[in-house]
Amino acid sequence: MKVLSEMGGIYIDTDAFPIRSITPLRVHEFTLAYDNIIDDTKPKRLNNGVILSAPNAEFLNVWSATYYNFDPQSFDHHSSIVPFKLAMEYPDLIHVEMSRISPISYAFHTSVLATALTCGIYNPNDSSILHPVWSISKRVYTFENVVPDKYMYQQLIRKYILHLTMSQVRGVCMMRKQLSSIPDLYLMPSFLGSIFRKAVFDVDTFDYSKLVNGSNEDKFETWLPARNLFGTYPR
């Protein structure tokens, strides 16, 4: 926060990934994203995993001043709840980004989308994502009768930045710890894997057609190592 106040710039968590240019957001003096915590009994908050700030932004100065009574036992109070309250009090000093910066939202629990994003099978030919469903009767994940999810893909590509380890998805995809080597990139048949491979190699050479046209067993055998890579756990 001190560096942003002195120099201005963009802070991004190590588990937040730009999907496309965030230049349109740089017209604002200060930007944070709304954190769509699903539990309505919890306080509303802003997500501090992505911060855009002009030098000496007034909102940042006001926010920083509240740290005089910082409680280290509840760090997220000052980092998330306090800025939301300040945004309500000083709406002219901040742009609250509601949709183009994660947290990712999909009309149900965020962990479903997070797991599909990191581990689901991406099909670039029809712009869709295949992700298994949990069979209650068999107590296993299965690709049986699963159809390509084009809506999920459309929701993902509308984002500027994806941020994965929010409070809703801890234990689902802890990418800070798990993704550690170039070979790991080829354990990811997913949309996020494609983004990473293009960033590292300038081109995505993953053979999606083998998976998309393969058996349900082929899909599962590719999906499971990716799921394990990110610290995701079976039920």
Query: Picking from 98-102, 116-120, 227-231, which range would have the lowest pLDDT averaged per residue?
Result: 227-231
For residue 107, the model assigns a pLDDT of 43
pTM: 0.75
> HEC string of the chain?
CHHHHHHCEEEECCCEEECCCCHHHHHCCEEEEEECCCCCCCCCEEEEEEEEECCCCHHHHHHHHHHHHCCHHHHHHHHHHHHHHHHHHCHHHCEEECCCECCCCCCCCHHHHHHHHHHCEEECCCCEEECCEEECCCCEEECCCCCCEHHHHHHHHCCCEEECCCCCCCCCCCHHHHCCCHHHHHHCCCHHHHHHHHHHHCCCCCCHHHHHCCCHHHHHHHHHHHHHHCCCCCC
pLDDT, tens only, 117-135: 888 899 998 999 998 888 8
